[in-house]
Chains A and B, each alone.
Chain A
Amino acid sequence: MSVKQAVLSQFQLVAKEQKKRLAPLSDDLVLLDSGLDSLCVAIVVARLEDALGVDPFGTAADGDFPVTVGDFVKLYEDAAR
Protein backbone atom coordinates (compact mmCIF):
# COMPACT_ATOMS: atom_id res chain seq x y z
CA MET A 1 0.00 0.00 0.00
CA SER A 2 1.34 3.43 -0.89
CA VAL A 3 1.75 6.07 1.80
CA LYS A 4 -1.10 7.99 0.26
CA GLN A 5 -3.40 4.97 0.36
CA ALA A 6 -2.40 4.28 3.97
CA VAL A 7 -3.25 7.85 4.96
CA LEU A 8 -6.56 7.99 3.10
CA SER A 9 -7.71 4.63 4.41
CA GLN A 10 -7.06 5.81 7.99
CA PHE A 11 -9.14 8.91 7.28
CA GLN A 12 -12.02 6.69 6.20
CA LEU A 13 -11.61 4.21 9.05
CA VAL A 14 -11.44 6.83 11.80
CA ALA A 15 -14.37 8.79 10.31
CA LYS A 16 -16.44 5.61 10.39
CA GLU A 17 -15.39 4.74 13.96
CA GLN A 18 -16.07 8.26 15.18
CA LYS A 19 -19.35 8.47 13.26
CA LYS A 20 -18.18 11.51 11.30
CA ARG A 21 -19.34 12.23 7.79
CA LEU A 22 -16.23 12.41 5.65
CA ALA A 23 -16.26 14.83 2.73
CA PRO A 24 -15.11 13.36 -0.62
CA LEU A 25 -11.31 13.27 -0.25
CA SER A 26 -9.30 15.27 -2.73
CA ASP A 27 -5.87 16.86 -2.57
CA ASP A 28 -7.24 20.37 -2.21
CA LEU A 29 -9.87 19.55 0.42
CA VAL A 30 -9.18 21.66 3.53
CA LEU A 31 -8.56 19.28 6.45
CA LEU A 32 -10.78 21.26 8.81
CA ASP A 33 -13.59 20.91 6.26
CA SER A 34 -13.11 17.15 5.87
CA GLY A 35 -15.52 16.29 8.68
CA LEU A 36 -12.69 15.10 10.96
CA ASP A 37 -12.17 17.09 14.16
CA SER A 38 -8.94 17.42 16.18
CA LEU A 39 -9.55 14.18 18.07
CA CYS A 40 -10.03 12.29 14.78
CA VAL A 41 -6.85 13.78 13.33
CA ALA A 42 -4.97 12.88 16.53
CA ILE A 43 -6.11 9.26 16.21
CA VAL A 44 -5.16 9.18 12.51
CA VAL A 45 -1.68 10.52 13.36
CA ALA A 46 -1.21 7.92 16.14
CA ARG A 47 -2.31 5.05 13.88
CA LEU A 48 -0.02 6.25 11.08
CA GLU A 49 2.88 6.43 13.50
CA ASP A 50 2.25 2.78 14.39
CA ALA A 51 1.77 1.74 10.76
CA LEU A 52 4.50 3.78 9.05
CA GLY A 53 6.89 4.39 11.94
CA VAL A 54 6.97 8.15 11.38
CA ASP A 55 5.50 11.12 13.22
CA PRO A 56 6.05 14.17 11.03
CA PHE A 57 4.00 16.35 13.42
CA GLY A 58 5.88 15.58 16.60
CA THR A 59 9.34 16.24 15.25
CA ALA A 60 10.45 19.84 15.36
CA ALA A 61 10.39 20.94 11.77
CA ASP A 62 10.37 23.96 9.59
CA GLY A 63 7.43 24.62 7.39
CA ASP A 64 3.76 24.94 8.05
CA PHE A 65 1.14 22.64 9.45
CA PRO A 66 -0.77 20.92 6.64
CA VAL A 67 -3.90 22.77 5.59
CA THR A 68 -5.24 20.46 2.87
CA VAL A 69 -5.50 16.70 2.52
CA GLY A 70 -2.78 16.95 -0.15
CA ASP A 71 -0.46 18.76 2.29
CA PHE A 72 -1.14 16.10 4.90
CA VAL A 73 -0.35 13.23 2.53
CA LYS A 74 2.80 14.98 1.32
CA LEU A 75 4.00 15.42 4.90
CA TYR A 76 3.88 11.64 5.35
CA GLU A 77 5.35 10.90 1.93
CA ASP A 78 8.30 13.16 2.72
CA ALA A 79 8.75 11.70 6.20
CA ALA A 80 8.58 8.11 4.99
CA ARG A 81 11.28 8.72 2.42
Chain B
Amino acid sequence: MPPADDRSLWRRVGAAGWLTERALRSADGDVMLETLAHRSSLGGALERLRGRSVLIATRDQLPAALALIELDGVARRLVLATPDLPAEHLAYVTETAEIEAVVTDGPLPEVVTSRVSTTVMGTTVLEAPRARSVGSEWILLTSGTTGPPKMVVHTLASLTDPITPGGPVGAPAVWSTFYDIRRYGGLQIFLRAMVGGGSLVLSSATEATGDFLTRAGGSGVTHISGTPSHWRRALMSPSARAIGPRYVRLSGEIADQAVLDRLRDGYPHASLGHAFASTEAGVAFEVDDGRAGFPAARIGQPGSVELTIVDDSLRIRSGRTATRYLGAGAPPLRDADGFVDTGDMVERRGDRYYFVGRRDGIINVGGLKVHPEEVEAVINAHPRVRVSVVRTRRSPITGALVVADVMPSEEADAAGAAATTLELEVLQRCRESLARHKVPAAITVVPSLAMTAGGKLVRARA
Protein backbone atom coordinates (compact mmCIF):
# COMPACT_ATOMS: atom_id res chain seq x y z
CA MET B 1 0.00 0.00 0.00
CA PRO B 2 1.52 3.37 -0.96
CA PRO B 3 2.37 5.68 1.91
CA ALA B 4 -0.21 8.22 0.79
CA ASP B 5 -2.83 5.67 1.75
CA ASP B 6 -2.10 5.89 5.44
CA ARG B 7 -2.07 9.65 5.41
CA SER B 8 -5.42 10.12 3.69
CA LEU B 9 -8.09 11.90 5.63
CA TRP B 10 -10.37 8.86 5.79
CA ARG B 11 -7.54 6.72 7.22
CA ARG B 12 -6.76 9.40 9.77
CA VAL B 13 -10.43 9.73 10.71
CA GLY B 14 -10.46 5.99 11.36
CA ALA B 15 -7.09 5.93 13.11
CA ALA B 16 -8.34 8.47 15.63
CA GLY B 17 -10.79 5.87 16.90
CA TRP B 18 -14.25 6.13 18.48
CA LEU B 19 -15.84 5.86 14.98
CA THR B 20 -19.15 4.52 16.24
CA GLU B 21 -19.55 7.49 18.58
CA ARG B 22 -18.47 10.32 16.33
CA ALA B 23 -20.68 12.34 14.04
CA LEU B 24 -20.96 15.29 11.73
CA ARG B 25 -23.98 17.20 12.98
CA SER B 26 -25.82 19.77 10.89
CA ALA B 27 -29.03 21.76 11.31
CA ASP B 28 -30.69 19.31 8.92
CA GLY B 29 -29.45 16.05 10.39
CA ASP B 30 -26.49 14.00 11.53
CA VAL B 31 -24.16 11.56 9.83
CA MET B 32 -22.36 9.06 12.04
CA LEU B 33 -18.76 8.74 10.79
CA GLU B 34 -18.97 4.99 11.09
CA THR B 35 -21.55 4.84 8.28
CA LEU B 36 -18.90 6.11 5.85
CA ALA B 37 -17.10 2.80 6.31
CA HIS B 38 -20.03 1.02 4.65
CA ARG B 39 -21.42 3.47 2.20
CA SER B 40 -20.37 6.47 0.19
CA SER B 41 -22.07 9.84 0.11
CA LEU B 42 -21.06 10.19 -3.52
CA GLY B 43 -23.71 8.12 -5.25
CA GLY B 44 -21.45 5.38 -6.59
CA ALA B 45 -19.15 7.88 -8.27
CA LEU B 46 -16.09 7.48 -6.08
CA GLU B 47 -14.16 5.36 -8.57
CA ARG B 48 -14.95 7.77 -11.41
CA LEU B 49 -13.43 10.58 -9.38
CA ARG B 50 -10.11 8.80 -8.85
CA GLY B 51 -7.22 10.93 -10.07
CA ARG B 52 -9.58 13.73 -11.13
CA SER B 53 -9.63 17.43 -10.38
CA VAL B 54 -12.88 17.81 -8.44
CA LEU B 55 -14.80 20.96 -7.56
CA ILE B 56 -16.84 20.71 -4.37
CA ALA B 57 -19.58 23.30 -4.82
CA THR B 58 -22.37 22.52 -2.41
CA ARG B 59 -25.00 24.72 -0.84
CA ASP B 60 -24.73 23.04 2.55
CA GLN B 61 -21.60 22.30 4.54
CA LEU B 62 -22.39 18.67 5.37
CA PRO B 63 -22.11 17.23 1.82
CA ALA B 64 -18.85 19.20 1.38
CA ALA B 65 -17.47 17.70 4.59
CA LEU B 66 -18.39 14.17 3.50
CA ALA B 67 -16.89 14.69 0.04
CA LEU B 68 -13.62 15.91 1.59
CA ILE B 69 -13.39 12.83 3.81
CA GLU B 70 -14.07 10.48 0.92
CA LEU B 71 -12.09 12.17 -1.82
CA ASP B 72 -8.83 13.05 -0.09
CA GLY B 73 -6.34 10.53 -1.38
CA VAL B 74 -8.65 9.64 -4.27
CA ALA B 75 -9.02 12.82 -6.29
CA ARG B 76 -5.94 14.50 -7.68
CA ARG B 77 -7.22 17.91 -6.68
CA LEU B 78 -10.02 19.09 -4.39
CA VAL B 79 -11.27 22.61 -4.94
CA LEU B 80 -13.49 23.90 -2.17
CA ALA B 81 -15.92 26.58 -3.38
CA THR B 82 -16.76 29.15 -0.74
CA PRO B 83 -20.49 29.62 -0.08
CA ASP B 84 -20.61 33.15 -1.45
CA LEU B 85 -18.59 32.52 -4.62
CA PRO B 86 -20.30 34.44 -7.43
CA ALA B 87 -21.37 32.34 -10.42
CA GLU B 88 -19.22 34.40 -12.78
CA HIS B 89 -16.12 33.38 -10.83
CA LEU B 90 -17.04 29.69 -10.89
CA ALA B 91 -16.13 29.63 -14.57
CA TYR B 92 -12.66 31.04 -13.82
CA VAL B 93 -12.14 28.56 -10.99
CA THR B 94 -13.28 25.65 -13.16
CA GLU B 95 -10.92 26.67 -15.94
CA THR B 96 -7.92 27.45 -13.75
CA ALA B 97 -8.13 24.28 -11.68
CA GLU B 98 -8.83 22.15 -14.77
CA ILE B 99 -11.93 20.81 -13.09
CA GLU B 100 -13.15 17.46 -14.42
CA ALA B 101 -15.95 16.67 -12.00
CA VAL B 102 -18.20 18.55 -9.63
CA VAL B 103 -19.74 17.42 -6.38
CA THR B 104 -22.85 19.46 -5.71
CA ASP B 105 -26.20 19.33 -3.94
CA GLY B 106 -28.05 21.64 -6.29
CA PRO B 107 -28.17 23.01 -9.82
CA LEU B 108 -24.96 24.41 -11.29
CA PRO B 109 -24.57 27.31 -13.69
CA GLU B 110 -24.13 26.37 -17.33
CA VAL B 111 -20.63 27.91 -17.35
CA VAL B 112 -19.56 25.00 -15.17
CA THR B 113 -21.63 22.11 -16.54
CA SER B 114 -20.47 22.82 -20.09
CA ARG B 115 -16.87 22.21 -19.03
CA VAL B 116 -17.12 19.06 -16.97
CA SER B 117 -18.08 15.50 -17.75
CA THR B 118 -19.15 14.30 -14.32
CA THR B 119 -21.59 15.85 -11.93
CA VAL B 120 -22.21 14.07 -8.67
CA MET B 121 -25.24 14.76 -6.59
CA GLY B 122 -24.63 14.23 -2.94
CA THR B 123 -27.02 11.35 -2.52
CA THR B 124 -26.19 8.31 -0.45
CA VAL B 125 -25.92 4.88 -2.05
CA LEU B 126 -24.21 1.72 -0.98
CA GLU B 127 -20.55 1.64 -1.89
CA ALA B 128 -17.51 0.90 0.20
CA PRO B 129 -14.69 3.45 0.01
CA ARG B 130 -11.82 1.87 -1.95
CA ALA B 131 -8.10 1.94 -1.32
CA ARG B 132 -6.60 5.41 -1.65
CA SER B 133 -3.84 6.08 -4.09
CA VAL B 134 -2.79 9.69 -4.50
CA GLY B 135 -1.83 12.67 -2.38
CA SER B 136 -4.57 15.19 -3.13
CA GLU B 137 -4.07 18.91 -3.55
CA TRP B 138 -6.54 20.96 -1.54
CA ILE B 139 -7.42 24.27 -3.18
CA LEU B 140 -8.93 26.97 -0.97
CA LEU B 141 -10.39 30.16 -2.36
CA THR B 142 -9.78 33.58 -0.89
CA SER B 143 -11.01 36.89 -2.24
CA GLY B 144 -8.56 38.73 -4.48
CA THR B 145 -7.96 42.48 -4.70
CA THR B 146 -10.26 42.70 -7.67
CA GLY B 147 -12.07 40.14 -9.79
CA PRO B 148 -11.74 36.40 -9.36
CA PRO B 149 -10.68 34.70 -6.13
CA LYS B 150 -7.12 33.66 -5.42
CA MET B 151 -6.73 29.88 -5.48
CA VAL B 152 -4.45 28.74 -2.69
CA VAL B 153 -2.77 25.33 -2.91
CA HIS B 154 -2.51 23.27 0.28
CA THR B 155 -2.15 19.60 1.10
CA LEU B 156 -3.75 17.63 3.90
CA ALA B 157 -0.29 17.63 5.51
CA SER B 158 0.03 21.44 5.49
CA LEU B 159 -3.55 21.86 6.71
CA THR B 160 -3.21 19.39 9.58
CA ASP B 161 0.33 20.34 10.65
CA PRO B 162 -0.95 22.74 13.36
CA ILE B 163 -3.01 19.97 14.93
CA THR B 164 -1.22 18.43 17.85
CA PRO B 165 -2.49 15.02 18.89
CA GLY B 166 -4.54 15.40 22.03
CA GLY B 167 -3.86 13.23 25.03
CA PRO B 168 -6.26 10.47 25.97
CA VAL B 169 -9.58 11.87 27.05
CA GLY B 170 -12.61 10.28 28.62
CA ALA B 171 -14.83 10.81 25.59
CA PRO B 172 -14.43 12.18 22.08
CA ALA B 173 -14.29 15.97 21.89
CA VAL B 174 -17.25 17.71 20.31
CA TRP B 175 -16.01 20.57 18.17
CA SER B 176 -18.04 23.34 16.70
CA THR B 177 -17.41 26.54 14.83
CA PHE B 178 -19.40 29.59 13.82
CA TYR B 179 -17.32 29.54 10.62
CA ASP B 180 -18.24 27.85 7.41
CA ILE B 181 -15.84 24.91 7.02
CA ARG B 182 -15.11 25.96 3.44
CA ARG B 183 -12.99 28.82 4.73
CA TYR B 184 -9.57 28.25 6.30
CA GLY B 185 -10.67 29.01 9.87
CA GLY B 186 -13.60 26.60 9.66
CA LEU B 187 -11.63 23.97 7.79
CA GLN B 188 -9.10 23.92 10.64
CA ILE B 189 -11.87 23.01 13.06
CA PHE B 190 -13.33 20.37 10.73
CA LEU B 191 -9.89 18.75 10.46
CA ARG B 192 -9.23 19.04 14.18
CA ALA B 193 -12.45 17.14 14.84
CA MET B 194 -11.82 14.57 12.13
CA VAL B 195 -8.16 13.67 12.70
CA GLY B 196 -8.27 14.44 16.41
CA GLY B 197 -10.96 11.88 17.15
CA GLY B 198 -13.91 14.18 17.71
CA SER B 199 -17.34 15.04 16.37
CA LEU B 200 -18.26 18.33 14.71
CA VAL B 201 -21.37 20.49 14.95
CA LEU B 202 -21.67 22.47 11.72
CA SER B 203 -23.11 25.97 11.64
CA SER B 204 -25.77 26.99 9.17
CA ALA B 205 -26.07 30.27 7.30
CA THR B 206 -29.84 30.27 7.78
CA GLU B 207 -29.81 29.62 11.52
CA ALA B 208 -30.04 32.37 14.15
CA THR B 209 -27.08 32.66 16.56
CA GLY B 210 -29.21 31.64 19.53
CA ASP B 211 -30.55 28.55 17.76
CA PHE B 212 -27.05 27.48 16.75
CA LEU B 213 -25.78 27.87 20.31
CA THR B 214 -28.70 25.87 21.63
CA ARG B 215 -28.08 23.10 19.10
CA ALA B 216 -24.33 23.07 19.83
CA GLY B 217 -25.06 22.97 23.56
CA GLY B 218 -27.52 20.12 23.04
CA SER B 219 -24.79 18.17 21.22
CA GLY B 220 -22.49 18.65 24.22
CA VAL B 221 -19.97 20.92 22.48
CA THR B 222 -16.58 20.90 24.24
CA HIS B 223 -14.42 22.95 21.83
CA ILE B 224 -15.77 25.90 19.87
CA SER B 225 -14.25 28.52 17.61
CA GLY B 226 -15.24 31.73 15.88
CA THR B 227 -14.08 35.21 14.98
CA PRO B 228 -14.18 37.94 17.66
CA SER B 229 -17.28 39.25 15.83
CA HIS B 230 -18.96 35.85 16.06
CA TRP B 231 -18.17 35.74 19.75
CA ARG B 232 -19.41 39.26 20.49
CA ARG B 233 -22.68 38.33 18.86
CA ALA B 234 -22.83 35.05 20.78
CA LEU B 235 -22.23 36.84 24.07
CA MET B 236 -25.19 39.10 23.32
CA SER B 237 -27.46 36.07 22.99
CA PRO B 238 -29.44 34.70 25.93
CA SER B 239 -28.37 31.28 24.59
CA ALA B 240 -24.69 32.04 25.30
CA ARG B 241 -25.18 29.97 28.44
CA ALA B 242 -26.52 27.01 26.44
CA ILE B 243 -22.91 25.93 25.89
CA GLY B 244 -20.30 25.07 28.52
CA PRO B 245 -17.16 24.49 26.45
CA ARG B 246 -13.74 23.40 27.76
CA TYR B 247 -11.99 25.36 25.00
CA VAL B 248 -12.93 28.66 23.38
CA ARG B 249 -10.94 29.75 20.35
CA LEU B 250 -10.84 32.99 18.39
CA SER B 251 -9.28 33.55 14.98
CA GLY B 252 -9.79 35.39 11.71
CA GLU B 253 -9.79 38.91 13.15
CA ILE B 254 -7.82 40.85 15.72
CA ALA B 255 -8.85 39.70 19.19
CA ASP B 256 -9.01 42.74 21.46
CA GLN B 257 -8.68 42.65 25.23
CA ALA B 258 -12.36 43.48 25.75
CA VAL B 259 -13.66 40.40 23.94
CA LEU B 260 -11.03 38.18 25.59
CA ASP B 261 -12.02 39.49 29.04
CA ARG B 262 -15.69 38.95 28.37
CA LEU B 263 -15.15 35.42 27.13
CA ARG B 264 -13.06 34.65 30.21
CA ASP B 265 -15.90 35.92 32.41
CA GLY B 266 -18.59 34.22 30.34
CA TYR B 267 -16.85 30.83 30.20
CA PRO B 268 -14.72 30.73 33.36
CA HIS B 269 -14.10 26.99 33.05
CA ALA B 270 -12.84 27.12 29.47
CA SER B 271 -9.30 27.62 28.33
CA LEU B 272 -9.22 30.56 25.99
CA GLY B 273 -6.98 30.87 22.96
CA HIS B 274 -6.66 33.22 20.05
CA ALA B 275 -4.91 32.07 16.92
CA PHE B 276 -3.32 33.99 14.11
CA ALA B 277 -3.92 32.25 10.80
CA SER B 278 -4.56 33.04 7.18
CA THR B 279 -5.41 30.92 4.16
CA GLU B 280 -1.95 31.48 2.69
CA ALA B 281 0.18 31.45 5.83
CA GLY B 282 -1.65 28.74 7.75
CA VAL B 283 -1.81 28.81 11.54
CA ALA B 284 1.16 30.87 12.70
CA PHE B 285 0.62 30.72 16.42
CA GLU B 286 -1.90 30.36 19.18
CA VAL B 287 -1.89 32.63 22.21
CA ASP B 288 -3.29 31.15 25.42
CA ASP B 289 -2.41 33.67 28.14
CA GLY B 290 -5.69 35.55 27.74
CA ARG B 291 -3.99 38.72 26.60
CA ALA B 292 -4.39 40.52 23.27
CA GLY B 293 -1.41 40.55 20.91
CA PHE B 294 1.43 38.03 21.09
CA PRO B 295 4.75 37.81 22.95
CA ALA B 296 7.55 39.73 21.22
CA ALA B 297 9.90 36.87 22.06
CA ARG B 298 8.08 34.76 19.49
CA ILE B 299 9.71 36.78 16.67
CA GLY B 300 12.91 35.22 15.44
CA GLN B 301 12.51 32.16 17.65
CA PRO B 302 13.70 28.98 15.94
CA GLY B 303 11.16 26.20 15.60
CA SER B 304 8.70 24.65 13.21
CA VAL B 305 7.03 28.03 12.66
CA GLU B 306 9.38 30.96 12.14
CA LEU B 307 8.11 34.53 12.36
CA THR B 308 9.87 37.60 11.16
CA ILE B 309 8.87 41.22 10.63
CA VAL B 310 9.82 43.08 7.47
CA ASP B 311 8.69 46.71 7.12
CA ASP B 312 6.26 46.21 10.03
CA SER B 313 4.57 43.32 8.22
CA LEU B 314 4.50 39.82 9.72
CA ARG B 315 6.12 37.05 7.64
CA ILE B 316 5.80 33.35 8.35
CA ARG B 317 7.77 30.28 7.29
CA SER B 318 6.51 26.84 8.25
CA GLY B 319 5.22 23.52 6.96
CA ARG B 320 1.75 24.94 7.42
CA THR B 321 1.88 27.57 4.71
CA ALA B 322 0.36 27.03 1.30
CA THR B 323 2.82 26.18 -1.46
CA ARG B 324 1.60 28.41 -4.29
CA TYR B 325 -1.30 30.08 -6.02
CA LEU B 326 -2.96 28.19 -8.84
CA GLY B 327 -3.17 29.81 -12.23
CA ALA B 328 -0.90 31.11 -14.95
CA GLY B 329 0.63 34.46 -14.04
CA ALA B 330 -0.27 34.11 -10.36
CA PRO B 331 2.21 35.92 -8.10
CA PRO B 332 4.61 33.88 -5.96
CA LEU B 333 3.10 33.00 -2.60
CA ARG B 334 6.41 32.79 -0.73
CA ASP B 335 9.45 35.04 -0.83
CA ALA B 336 12.94 33.85 -1.83
CA ASP B 337 13.56 32.56 1.71
CA GLY B 338 10.29 30.64 1.83
CA PHE B 339 8.44 33.16 4.01
CA VAL B 340 4.82 34.12 3.34
CA ASP B 341 4.23 37.86 3.73
CA THR B 342 0.89 38.12 5.55
CA GLY B 343 0.42 41.84 4.83
CA ASP B 344 -0.72 42.16 8.45
CA MET B 345 0.99 45.10 10.10
CA VAL B 346 2.21 44.76 13.69
CA GLU B 347 3.39 47.26 16.25
CA ARG B 348 5.46 46.57 19.34
CA ARG B 349 4.26 47.87 22.71
CA GLY B 350 6.34 46.69 25.63
CA ASP B 351 6.91 42.94 25.51
CA ARG B 352 4.17 42.26 22.98
CA TYR B 353 3.29 42.81 19.37
CA TYR B 354 -0.20 43.95 18.38
CA PHE B 355 -1.89 43.79 15.00
CA VAL B 356 -2.72 47.25 13.73
CA GLY B 357 -4.28 46.63 10.30
CA ARG B 358 -3.53 45.60 6.75
CA ARG B 359 -0.78 46.99 4.55
CA ASP B 360 -3.09 46.83 1.54
CA GLY B 361 -5.75 48.74 3.47
CA ILE B 362 -8.24 45.86 3.32
CA ILE B 363 -10.95 46.47 5.89
CA ASN B 364 -12.27 43.43 7.73
CA VAL B 365 -15.91 44.08 8.69
CA GLY B 366 -16.94 41.16 10.87
CA GLY B 367 -14.91 38.75 8.75
CA LEU B 368 -15.99 40.22 5.40
CA LYS B 369 -13.24 41.91 3.39
CA VAL B 370 -13.66 45.36 1.91
CA HIS B 371 -11.20 46.78 -0.60
CA PRO B 372 -11.15 50.58 -0.10
CA GLU B 373 -10.55 51.14 -3.81
CA GLU B 374 -13.88 49.56 -4.71
CA VAL B 375 -15.78 51.93 -2.41
CA GLU B 376 -13.72 54.93 -3.51
CA ALA B 377 -14.54 54.19 -7.15
CA VAL B 378 -18.26 54.42 -6.37
CA ILE B 379 -17.87 57.64 -4.39
CA ASN B 380 -15.55 59.27 -6.95
CA ALA B 381 -18.12 58.66 -9.68
CA HIS B 382 -20.34 61.33 -8.07
CA PRO B 383 -20.06 64.43 -10.30
CA ARG B 384 -19.47 66.78 -7.36
CA VAL B 385 -16.72 64.67 -5.75
CA ARG B 386 -13.09 65.33 -6.61
CA VAL B 387 -11.53 62.50 -4.63
CA SER B 388 -12.17 60.36 -1.59
CA VAL B 389 -10.30 58.17 0.86
CA VAL B 390 -11.98 55.15 2.40
CA ARG B 391 -10.61 54.20 5.79
CA THR B 392 -11.23 51.72 8.55
CA ARG B 393 -12.75 52.70 11.85
CA ARG B 394 -12.28 50.34 14.78
CA SER B 395 -15.51 48.76 15.95
CA PRO B 396 -15.92 46.82 19.19
CA ILE B 397 -18.75 44.88 17.51
CA THR B 398 -17.56 43.98 14.00
CA GLY B 399 -13.84 44.68 14.48
CA ALA B 400 -13.95 47.41 11.86
CA LEU B 401 -16.33 49.64 9.96
CA VAL B 402 -15.87 51.45 6.66
CA VAL B 403 -15.75 55.26 6.78
CA ALA B 404 -14.98 57.76 4.03
CA ASP B 405 -13.48 61.23 3.73
CA VAL B 406 -14.79 63.01 0.68
CA MET B 407 -13.27 66.09 -0.95
CA PRO B 408 -15.74 67.95 -3.18
CA SER B 409 -14.88 69.38 -6.61
CA GLU B 410 -16.19 72.83 -5.63
CA GLU B 411 -15.13 74.63 -2.48
CA ALA B 412 -18.75 75.71 -1.97
CA ASP B 413 -19.69 72.08 -1.27
CA ALA B 414 -17.11 71.68 1.50
CA ALA B 415 -19.14 73.13 4.36
CA GLY B 416 -22.59 73.82 5.69
CA ALA B 417 -25.82 72.62 4.15
CA ALA B 418 -24.14 71.87 0.79
CA ALA B 419 -21.74 69.48 2.51
CA THR B 420 -24.61 67.71 4.27
CA THR B 421 -26.46 67.30 0.99
CA LEU B 422 -23.35 65.90 -0.66
CA GLU B 423 -22.85 63.42 2.21
CA LEU B 424 -26.39 62.14 1.79
CA GLU B 425 -26.09 61.87 -1.99
CA VAL B 426 -22.82 59.95 -1.76
CA LEU B 427 -24.31 57.64 0.86
CA GLN B 428 -27.33 57.00 -1.35
CA ARG B 429 -25.04 56.13 -4.27
CA CYS B 430 -23.04 53.69 -2.11
CA ARG B 431 -26.22 52.01 -0.86
CA GLU B 432 -27.42 51.52 -4.42
CA SER B 433 -24.29 49.83 -5.72
CA LEU B 434 -22.40 48.24 -2.82
CA ALA B 435 -22.99 45.35 -0.42
CA ARG B 436 -24.17 46.55 3.00
CA HIS B 437 -20.89 45.99 4.81
CA LYS B 438 -19.06 48.07 2.16
CA VAL B 439 -21.27 51.15 2.57
CA PRO B 440 -19.49 53.73 4.73
CA ALA B 441 -20.96 53.99 8.22
CA ALA B 442 -19.98 57.66 8.14
CA ILE B 443 -19.06 60.07 5.38
CA THR B 444 -17.17 63.25 6.18
CA VAL B 445 -16.90 66.02 3.64
CA VAL B 446 -13.46 67.62 4.00
CA PRO B 447 -11.95 70.66 2.26
CA SER B 448 -8.78 68.79 1.30
CA LEU B 449 -7.06 65.42 1.53
CA ALA B 450 -3.38 64.89 2.25
CA MET B 451 -1.18 63.85 -0.68
CA THR B 452 2.28 62.29 -0.69
CA ALA B 453 5.16 63.93 -2.54
CA GLY B 454 4.43 61.46 -5.34
CA GLY B 455 0.90 62.78 -5.63
CA LYS B 456 -0.78 59.79 -4.05
CA LEU B 457 -3.43 60.02 -1.39
CA VAL B 458 -2.17 59.39 2.11
CA ARG B 459 -3.89 56.36 3.56
CA ALA B 460 -3.67 56.38 7.31
CA ARG B 461 -3.14 52.93 8.74
CA ALA B 462 -5.79 51.43 11.00
Say yes or no for A24: interface residue by CB 8 A criterion: no
Chain A positions 44 through 74: 1 when the CB is less than 8 Å from some CB of chain B, otherwise 0: 0111001000010111111111110000000
Contact of A42 among B235, B256, B398 (CB under 8 A): B398
The distance in angstroms between the C-alpha atoms of A50 and B442, with both chains bound, is 11
Inter-subunit contact B397/A38 (CB<8 Å)? yes
Inter-subunit contact B233/A58 (CB<8 Å)? no
The distance in angstroms between the C-alpha atoms of A43 and B440, with both chains bound, is 10
Inter-subunit contact B441/A58 (CB<8 Å)? no
Sort chain A's interface into a size bin. Answer: 20 to 34
Interface residues of B in 170-226 (CB under 8 A from A): 208-210
Say yes or no for A9: interface residue by CB 8 A criterion: no
The distance in angstroms between the C-alpha atoms of A65 and B231, with both chains bound, is 10
Given A38-B366, A45-B396, A65-B262, 6 additional A-B pairs, CB 8 A = A32-B237, A38-B398, A39-B436, A60-B258, A65-B266, A67-B237
- Known contacts A32-B209, A55-B396, A63-B265; A38/B258 CB under 8 A: no
Chain B positions 250 through 262: 1 when the CB is less than 8 Å from some CB of chain A, otherwise 0: 0000001110011
Inter-subunit contact B232/A62 (CB<8 Å)? no
Inter-subunit contact B395/A59 (CB<8 Å)? no
Interface residues of B in 358-400 (CB under 8 A from A): 365-366, 393-398
Say yes or no for B328: interface residue by CB 8 A criterion: no
Inter-subunit contact A65/B232 (CB<8 Å)? yes
A contact residues around B396 at 8 Å (CB): 42, 45, 55, 57-58
Inter-subunit contact B393/A62 (CB<8 Å)? no
The distance in angstroms between the C-alpha atoms of A42 and B229, with both chains bound, is 10
Say yes or no for A18: interface residue by CB 8 A criterion: yes
B414 CB to nearest chain A CB (Å)? 20
B contact residues around A3 at 8 Å (CB): none
Contact of A41 among B261, B397, B442 (CB under 8 A): B397
Say yes or no for B43: interface residue by CB 8 A criterion: no
Residues of B within 8 A of A (CB): 208-210, 229, 232-233, 235-238, 240, 256-258, 261-262, 265-266, 365-366, 393-398, 401, 436-437, 441-442
The distance in angstroms between the C-alpha atoms of A60 and B437, with both chains bound, is 26
**A56 nearest CB neighbor, chain B only:** B396
The distance in angstroms between the C-alpha atoms of A43 and B236, with both chains bound, is 16
Say yes or no for A31: interface residue by CB 8 A criterion: yes
**A59 nearest CB neighbor, chain B only:** B258
B contact residues around A60 at 8 Å (CB): 257-258, 261
Say yes or no for A6: interface residue by CB 8 A criterion: no
Inter-subunit contact B266/A64 (CB<8 Å)? yes
**B261 nearest CB neighbor, chain A only:** A60
A contact residues around B210 at 8 Å (CB): 32
A contact residues around B232 at 8 Å (CB): 38, 57, 65
Say yes or no for A8: interface residue by CB 8 A criterion: no
B229 CB to nearest chain A CB (Å)? 6
Inter-subunit contact A46/B441 (CB<8 Å)? yes
A contact residues around B398 at 8 Å (CB): 38-39, 42
A61 CB to nearest chain B CB (Å)? 7
B439 CB to nearest chain A CB (Å)? 9
Say yes or no for A25: interface residue by CB 8 A criterion: no
Inter-subunit contact B233/A46 (CB<8 Å)? no
Inter-subunit contact B237/A61 (CB<8 Å)? no
The distance in angstroms between the C-alpha atoms of A66 and B398, with both chains bound, is 15
The distance in angstroms between the C-alpha atoms of A63 and B441, with both chains bound, is 28
Inter-subunit contact A64/B441 (CB<8 Å)? no
The distance in angstroms between the C-alpha atoms of A61 and B266, with both chains bound, is 12
A contact residues around B240 at 8 Å (CB): 67
3 closest residue pairs by CB, A with B:
A57-B396, A42-B397, A65-B235
Pick from B229, B232, B261, B397 the residue with the most CB of A within 10 Å: B397
- Known contacts A58-B256, A62-B265; A46/B393 CB under 8 A: yes
The distance in angstroms between the C-alpha atoms of A46 and B394, with both chains bound, is 9
List 13 A-B pairs, Cβ < 8 Å. A30-B237, A38-B366, A39-B365, A42-B366, A43-B401, A43-B441, A45-B397, A55-B396, A57-B258, A60-B257, A64-B235, A66-B236, A67-B240
